[in-house]
Homo-oligomer: A and B are copies of this chain.
Amino acid sequence: MRHRDDNKRIALLDATIAQVAEHGFSGTSVARIAKAANLSPATLYIYFADKDALLKEAFLYVSDQLIEVAVEHFLRGQDVREGMRLEWHALFRMGIAQPELFRYHETFTHSSWMTADLQARNEHEAAVLMNAFEDAKREGLIKPVAFSLLETFVYRPIYHLVQRTLQGSFIADDTHIDQAFEMAWDAVALCKKPSPKQP
């Protein structure tokens, strides 16, 4: 369904993300979202079937932004390691600049709205990254493990550490991010630090 005023749609999505990030799912009523978007609650129902649909679409909207940044920066690297490093830094910057995006993503991911089909859709959107991993496995650069393990040690840590940063229990300067990245890389790399310490 095409709507005349896409600005209103975006305004509602942005309002949703901001309100949920700040007040959580239970603390965010439809009325509050509509008000934050300067619209009537009734108007919201012209653009979204119901609250569930709104929350779900907001998740897709957030996910797409995250994936876009991730892919873009990954592709700038000369190799997998460098790509991943650039991706890490970019996502960290993004998480700190727009914490509501990360917080919304986290909140949604850990809520009962998160479903397998959404997970699958996102993995499809990030196909470029998946493929690069497959290549790297084949080339013997990273461990030949399932993607879920790569996600576990490469992506989840970013979300987790950004949240820690926002809480104040992690300092996200370049040094610490690199240190953390090194750990992620060590987790997935096949032949880690092959011999940098050897003559």
Contact = CB atoms under 8 A, between A and B. Distances in A.
Contacts of A152: 157, 160-161, 164, 180, 183
B107 A110 contact: yes
A24 interface: yes
A107 B111 CA distance: 7
Interface residues of A, number: 43
- Counted per complex, copies of this chain come to 4
A176 B138 CA distance: 19
Given A26-B26, A112-B23, A153-B153, A145 B183 contact: yes
Interface stretch (A6-14, A72-80, A92-100, A191-199): A191-199
A125 interface: no
A48 interface: no
A27 B143 CA distance: 40
Nearest to A170: B148
A33 interface: no
A188 interface: yes
A149 B187 contact: no
Contacts of A119: 167, 169
Given A106-B110, A107-B110, 12 more contacts: A22-B112, A24-B25, A145-B180, A148-B164, A148-B169, A149-B180, A152-B161, A152-B180, A156-B156, A186-B187, A186-B189, A191-B197
A138 to B, nearest CB: 18
Contacts of A49: none
A46 interface: no
A179 interface: yes
Interface in A4-40: 22-27
